[in-house]
């Protein structure tokens, strides 16, 4: 007796995707690329021979988009080019290989230490539950483990890193890596370091807004203008009370540049001024000195008066509203 199974009609057939597609690929791939991949999965069930031009017409996508999509999935190793076409690779097998590969490079001592580190394991569990609803992809575990080693973050900082990116709807590897790099450059290791960093950034943001308002800008500051303010605040330790003196004293200049403001504040810093009172006292002395020079010019006659050596100072404070 021979038993045969009827082929399932197209109307009742299914095309399945592993869950790892949703955790690893969906959020980081463009809609058109996903569209192409899904259709390739569908066609692969039936062993169809299809041309790129046909895909372009069937999916109503430009030919270049089809080509870019195929290259994208090929670069990820999701599909492999053969002489006769492409093979659709198993996503679960790909992720298993990625998960296994970093582990084989770790020493037994490292693995033993990781196993013993219950606090770190608890932190990773919290990340899984809070940001991935308890279904975090296995590859994230190896990534987090490597980030711990690369950046030296403590567990609270690692959780804060994921929370920071999650709150900005950017919970993907490239963004997390960029934020982690920025934190590492600011010597963040512990949660106290992170708290101090956020406090410093908040003060800078307030300073950005105050200076923008006082200059009457209706646009946001450029990154170069912010860099000037960072220097005045972080390197010179100047707050708004000193910076505002420079802003007020340049009212006679049309559109005073940040470069000019920087020269003023750098001059005050080089002179060792740390308080508004020291700056005001210096400006008062400079004002009196200018008066004395003018009095001497009137008495001796400008042409006969030998200019004293204030050239650089006069150039810096020319048209300065003393």
pLDDT tens for each residue of 111-170 = 455 544 677 888 888 999 999 888 888 788 888 988 998 999 999 999 999 999 999 999
Mean pLDDT of 16-20: 77
Select the more confidently predicted residue: 25 or 1: 25
Of 107-111, 185-189, 250-254, highest mean pLDDT: 185-189
Select the more confidently predicted residue: 1 or 175: 175
What is the predicted pLDDT for the residue at 322? 59
Would you kindly state where each structural domain of the chain is located, as residue ranges? 13-93, 106-189, 197-316
CA angle 193, 223, 192 (to 5 degrees): 5
Task: Report helix angle 155-167 to 138-151, nearest 10.
Answer: 120
- Altogether, the residues listed in the chain come to a count of 322
Q: Do 13-93 and 106-189 agree at the fold level?
A: yes
Range scoring the smallest mean pLDDT among 73-77, 187-191, 254-258: 254-258
Residue 321 has pLDDT above 50, yes or no: yes
Select the more confidently predicted residue: 311 or 118: 118
CATH number for the domain running over 13-93: 1.10.10.10
What is the predicted pLDDT for the residue at 195? 93
Q: Which among 43, 25, 31, 36 has a CA at the least distance from the CA of 66?
A: 36
What is the predicted pLDDT for the residue at 315? 66
pLDDT band at 11 (very low <50, low <70, confident <90, very high): low
Mean pLDDT of 203-214: 92
pLDDT band at 4 (very low <50, low <70, confident <90, very high): very low
What is the predicted pLDDT for the residue at 55? 82
73 three-state secondary structure: helix
Of 46-50, 72-76, 126-130, highest mean pLDDT: 126-130
Percent of the chain with pLDDT over 70: 79
Fold of 106-189: Arc Repressor Mutant, subunit A (1.10.10)
Q: Give per-residue burial for 111-145: e unless 16+ CB within 10 Å, then b.
A: eeeeeeeeebeebbeebbeebeeeebbebbbbbbb
E strands in 149-241? none
Select the more confidently predicted residue: 298 or 232: 232
Instruction: Report the alpha-carbon distance of residue 48 to residue 129 in Å, rounded.
Output: 42
pLDDT band at 85 (very low <50, low <70, confident <90, very high): confident
Mean pLDDT of 288-303: 69
Instruction: Report the alpha-carbon distance of residue 276 to residue 248 in Å, rounded.
Output: 13
């Amino acid at each position: 007796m021979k038993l045969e199974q009827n082929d399932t009609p197209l109307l009742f057939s299914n095309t399945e995707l592993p869950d790892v597609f949703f955790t690893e690929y969906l959020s980081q791939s463009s809609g058109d690329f996903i569209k192409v991949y899904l259709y390739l999965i569908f066609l692969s069930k039936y062993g169809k021979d299809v041309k790129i031009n046909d895909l372009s017409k069937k999916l109503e996508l430009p030919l270049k988009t089809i080509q870019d999509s195929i290259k994208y999935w090929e670069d990820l190793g999701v599909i492999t080019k053969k002489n006769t076409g492409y093979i659709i690779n198993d996503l679960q097998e790909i992720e298993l290989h990625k998960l296994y590969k970093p582990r084989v490079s770790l020493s037994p001592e490292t693995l033993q230490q990781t196993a013993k580190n219950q606090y770190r394991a608890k932190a990773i569990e919290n990340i899984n539950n809070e940001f991935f609803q308890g279904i975090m992809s296995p590859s994230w575990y190896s990534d987090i483990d490597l980030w711990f080693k690369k950046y030296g973050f403590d567990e609270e900082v690692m959780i804060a890193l994921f929370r920071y990116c999650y709150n900005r709807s950017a919970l993907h590897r490239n963004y997390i890596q960029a934020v982690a790099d920025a934190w590492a450059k600011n010597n963040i290791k512990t949660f106290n370091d992170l708290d101090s960093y956020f406090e410093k950034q908040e003060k800078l943001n307030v300073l950005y807004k105050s200076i923008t308002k006082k200059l009457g800008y209706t646009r946001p500051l450029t990154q170069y203008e912010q860099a000037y303010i960072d220097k005045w605040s972080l390197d010179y330790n100047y707050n708004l009370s000193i910076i505002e003196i420079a802003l007020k004293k340049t009212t006679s200049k049309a559109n005073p540049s940040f470069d000019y403001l920087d020269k003023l504040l750098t001059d005050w810093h080089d002179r060792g001024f740390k308080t508004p009172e020291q700056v005001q006292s210096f400006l008062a002395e400079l004002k009196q000195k200018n008066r004395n020079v003018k009095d001497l010019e009137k008495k001796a006659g400008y042409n006969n008066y030998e200019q004293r050596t204030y050239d650089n100072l006069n150039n810096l404070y020319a048209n300065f509203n003393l």
